Amino acid sequence: MRMLVVEDEPKIAGFLSRGLIEEGHQVTVAGTLAAARSALATAGHDLLIIDRMLPDGDGLALIRELREAGNGLPALCVTAKDRVEDRVQGLWDGADDYLVKPFAFEELLARIAAIARRRPQASRILRVADLTLDAELRTAKRGEREVPLTPQEFALLWFLAEHPGRVHTRAELLAHVWNVHHDPGTNVVDVYMGYLRRKIDRDAAHPLVHTVRGVGYLLRA
Ligand code: CA
């Protein structure tokens, strides 16, 4: 799962993100509500793990905001506030679960698994400008034009579309899309980016695939 951990204590944030990454999750850490809001605006997440006492407010406020906007992103509140009223308030405000600090990492994992089981798979559609990707149907469209993609091309484009505007290095793309974690000195990423560019940006007035010379690639409207 792609998780956003909102925690202002660096020690706890580090402990959580290391543990969750070891479990195979992708983790972004934000230390404030403001940072969490911008992370949520730019990337897709499957789970929000949020502390209540943050420098710029109560983590529950962010959960309330999401719910009021119709956003059902699963949210797990992790906090030192352990009074029954606090926990009940958390659940009323839209948290899916509430975990009181200090907690055992195993318990966190169990609760994450429970949240994942309860939730139907969120709609898996990504949009960047007029590009639409549907993970279930494995289809890509640029405007009304269907773009036939191979599974590898689709995986690469999906990964780029999850973080529009962010530059991905070749090594990062190799790791995420091809599961290659060392540099085998291959130009497979460049070759595939070439395929994508031809398919996605063909005849387009505004190209979406961009190269940052010497760094990597990004998808941007
Ligand atoms: Ca805190």
The first and second tokens of residue 53, run together, are: 């006492």
Residue 136 phi/psi, 5° resolution? -75, -45
Residue 3 and residue 19 in contact, taking contact as beta carbons nearer than 8 Å: no
CATH superfamily to which 2-118 belongs: Response regulator (3.40.50.2300)
CA of 66 to the centre of ligand 1 (A): 20
Render pLDDT for 68-125 as a digit per residue (tens, 0 to 9): 887 778 899 998 887 877 877 777 778 888 899 899 999 999 999 888 776 655 557 8
CA of 51 to the centre of ligand 1 (A): 6
The mean pLDDT of the chain is 88
Residue 118 phi/psi, 5° resolution? -70, -30
CA of 70 to the centre of ligand 1 (A): 26
CA of 53 to the centre of ligand 1 (A): 4
Look at domain 125-219 and name its CATH class.
Answer: mainly alpha
Strands 2-6 vs 26-30: parallel, antiparallel or unpaired: parallel
CA of 14 to the centre of ligand 1 (A): 13
Domain ranges in the chain are 2-118, 125-219
Indicate if 125-219 has the same CATH topology as 2-118. no
CA of 16 to the centre of ligand 1 (A): 13
**Tokens 């006492």 — which residue?**
53
* pLDDT value for 119: 60
CA of 190 to the centre of ligand 1 (A): 43
Render pLDDT for 109-157 as a digit per residue (tens, 0 to 9): 999 988 877 665 555 788 999 999 988 777 899 999 999 988 778 889 9
Q: Where are the beta strands (DSSP E) in the chain?
A: 2-6, 26-30, 47-51, 53-54, 57-58, 75-79, 97-100, 125-128, 131-134, 139-142, 145-147, 168-169, 209-212, 216-219
pLDDT of 202 strictly over 60:
yes
